[in-house]
Amino acid sequence: MTSPLFDTLLLSWDQLITADGRLFKGDPGEVGLHAINHGSNLHFEDIMVIFGVLLVLLSGLSLLNWLRQQRLRPHKLVVFNRIAREAGLNWGDRLLLWRIGQNLDLPTPLTLMLCPGTLGTCSRQFTHQQHRGRAALNLARAASIRRHLFGPDAEEIQDRNGIQ
């Protein structure tokens, strides 16, 4: 037992499809003739809206393409923070390395993270310019950062090679 609505839909669908498989049974020439006699329902305002939408889409695609070609590089502070955070340094450690780099006019504080000798030398130069109590704390913190980044073996290797 089927519902009357289903029967109506099935019957109307059956009537739409003819033996030759076409959905439209009318003469295509009549469609063109009707369009010529009655005109189009497309108004000038509709054309302007369509033109505006196309203009906005093309402008947006052009802007995206231009931005992709710019190859913008992030600021050195952003790169340093990202790499130092991935290395496991907390905010205070990153701030100390940034201050050392700024004080010694390094191009970026990332240079301190490349070699244990560079970090040790630069941190000693930085602490010579500070108050005695503050300098001791900063030097100890820099040594802790160096052990964290390069391991305890870095100090032993430098001591064996006579590097200070």
Regarding predicted confidence, which is higher, 45 or 21? 45
Domain spans of the chain, in order of start? 77-163
pTM of the model: 0.52
Using one digit for the tens of pLDDT, what is the confidence trace for 23-65?
A: 667 777 787 787 778 776 778 888 899 999 999 999 999 999 9
136: pLDDT confidence band, cut at 50, 70 and 90? confident
Regarding predicted confidence, which is higher, 84 or 131? 84
pLDDT, residue 35, reads: 74
pLDDT, residue 132, reads: 80
Residue 120: pLDDT over 90 = no
The letter for the amino acid at 146 is R
pLDDT, residue 19, reads: 53
Using one digit for the tens of pLDDT, what is the confidence trace for 80-117?
A: 899 999 989 999 999 999 999 898 888 888 888 888 88
